[in-house]
Amino acid sequence: MAPALQKPIADISGVLGSMATRRAGQVIAEVERRFPQISFAAVLLDVPQQTPLTPYAFWLFNRGSLSSAVEKGGENRLVMLLIDTSSDHAISMMGYGLEPFVQENHLQSCLQAAQQPLLKKRYAQAIESFARELDRQLVEVCRLLPKQFGLVDESRWLDACAAGDGHLGTAENLY
C-alpha cells in the first residue's frame, strides 16, 4: 500500500528540519507561482532495498495521492522528485500533460543540479537546486514553444522579405 503523500514536500524519512522544509517549500512555491500550470512534489523516503527506483517512483507517482482524481492523463502536470535517502539517489517523473513540452533532457538537467547537494546529504538544498533548475528549464521551454509549433512573430518574416527582393510587404501577402 502506497503512503499518502503531501505536496509540496513529503518527508517520510524525517531527514529535513522545519526551517529546511520551509525554505525548500518557498522555492517550490516560487516556481509554482511563475508556472501555475504545474504542481511540484518532493518525496523523501527510504526506498526498500533491492527495489528498482524507476518502477517504485512510477508506483508512488500514481498511487501516492499527489494528484487529484480529475488530474489524469493529459490533465496531470505534476513534477515529482523522489529522493531515496537510504542510497542518496534521486529520480524525477512528470505527468502526461507535460510530456509534449518537457523532455527527458530537461528533467536530467534538474537532477544534475541536485546531484552535488544530494551527495552531501543536503536534501533541502537538493530540492531547491532541482526546483530552480526546473524553473530555468521551463523558461527555456516557454521561449522555444512558439517556434516548435510554428507560431512565430510575423514581423520576422516581413523583415526577412524586405531584406530580400521586396515583393512581400504585408502579412496578407504571406499567405
Whether 8 contacts 99, CB under 8 Å: no
Per-residue pLDDT of the chain (175 residues; tens, 9 = 90+): 777 788 999 999 999 999 999 999 999 999 999 999 999 999 999 998 889 999 999 999 888 888 776 677 777 889 999 999 999 999 999 988 888 888 889 999 999 999 999 999 999 999 999 999 999 999 988 888 777 666 666 555 545 545 554 444 444 443 4
**Distance in angstroms (rounded) separating the CA atoms of residues 94 and 36:** 15
Whether 2 contacts 57, CB under 8 Å: no
Torsion, CA 81, CA 116, CA 12, CA 77, rounded to 10: -10
pLDDT of res. 172: 47
For residue 75 the three cell numbers come to 490533465
pTM beyond 0.85, yes or no: no
Residue type at 7? K
**For residue range 1-47, what is the model confidence (pLDDT) as tens digits?**
777 788 999 999 999 999 999 999 999 999 999 999 999 999 999 99
Give CA angle at 124 (15, 100), nearest 5°.
120
pLDDT of res. 62: 85
pLDDT of res. 156: 57
Query: Could you give the domains of the chain?
Result: 9-166 (3.10.310.50)
Whether 82 contacts 43, CB under 8 Å: yes
